[in-house]
Structure 1
């Protein structure tokens, strides 16, 4: 928190964005998802459009924090945006992280019994019989290639 305060006082946006990213990660790991949501949103608001890797990481963390607070629809949108942005900038590590977070969310929604997860209105994933929610699919109908993400209205 001290690094964030110093960065904000100094007007150093990049450092403040990074501090929000690390605080989000730390708060998620320590069971404070509501605070993590706040820091992720603030970090995204500060992240410049050209800082794609930072934005992808923040969006992925934001999606995970939203999911941990039960805001599944918002989480899926953030994770889908992270996946799309990672693909657009050929950021493979970010793409894998966003994809894994979406897959974990799919498992979580099944465990929570919402019916939104695997097996309910899903599209088979690439090279697998495992299903993915259709709103996580790209224009090819899977998570494996570049395309336009679609979401439920």
Structure 2
């Protein structure tokens, strides 16, 4: 039986994380998978890792990074001062998809949000990611809002 664990990402995980982020049509157009990883990723990693309201996590299987996601804990005044958990950049290595690893990571992320006192867990996903939409629907997420972005 293989050993699966979820932990806080370390700087040495950056190349594996970026490879997963780049492993789809959208990611291929926006990520840089050169070796060693571009300094922009190390700088971003250090900023995320230093922020107590951010948690970049990886899932490992037999020591290999096979999944990742980022949690952001958002304090706010709306909903009676509720904290929200924002889940982003959920990825599973392409050769491990279909093994319910994504579900395990999401269940772990939701538990982390509960432990931090979040009243709600939310996420965004690109309109073109039909498989991701089915995945989030199966986990009980509801498409309740329309998102907007403005590139800067």
Q: Shorter-chain TM-score category?
A: 0.3 to 0.5
TM-score by length of 2: 0.33
The structure with more helix, counted as a fraction of residues? 1
Which structure carries more strand by proportion?
A: 2
> Normalising by structure 1, what TM-score?
0.33
